[in-house]
Amino acid sequence: MIKLTIKEASEYLGVAKSTLRRWEDEGKIKPERTAGGHRRYDKSTLISLKNKKENKKLTIGYCRVSSSDQKEDLERQIKTVSDYCSARGYQFKIIKDIGSGLNYNKKGLKELIKLICEREIDRIVINYKDRLIRFGYDIIEQMCDFNGVKIEIINYTEDKTYEEELVEDVLSIITVFSTKLYGSRSHKAKTIQQENKELFK
């Protein structure tokens, strides 16, 4: 994540340093502070501000994997999406998530939905369709359509990890229902979960 000094930030945005301080007082921008108390501005935040100033909207590259042991795949997704956006001259920001495609409570997904509803972005770029969400894609698509946001999918061929992740999603559903029925510490719930893990191997 690139950080800029107040001088670099003011030059990037074409505004005076006093304007940045005023925006900070007004809550429009919130720089980080170094140990010495100096302001540091996140480059992606400045890009968003610049796009608003120039009446341009940002592109969001959304990348997701289902578990933390797939971080290499996440990095590959980020590179693919970033290269795609750069080649087309998009001003973009990457939002990444680690979590099941059935989990609607992921931090990155909630941030993305907020940006869609506030009409702050022009498009969403994803590597595969299922990277956005496993079920309910049509709802997100309609939400984008209502708010003038395009979805661009780089690869329409099936994701090679689709079957593995689908199995994980099915197991997570079984886990949720068995713990609700029998309790999280129940021997029966644990037996059901173990039997299904063996079944899906």
Rounded Cα gap, residues 113 and 128, in angstroms: 18
Tokens of 155: 């690869």
CA torsion 99-102-105-110 (nearest 10°) is 90
Q: CA angle, corner 82, sides to 77 and 85, nearest 5? A: 130
Bridge-based pairing of strands 121-126 and 150-153 is parallel
Residue 184 falls in the annotated catalytic set: no
Bridge-based pairing of strands 150-153 and 32-33 is unpaired
Residue 182, exposed/middle/buried by CB under 10 A (0-12, 13-18, 19+)? middle
Q: Which of 10, 48, 66, 178 is catalytic?
A: 66
- Catalytic residues, by residue number, are 66
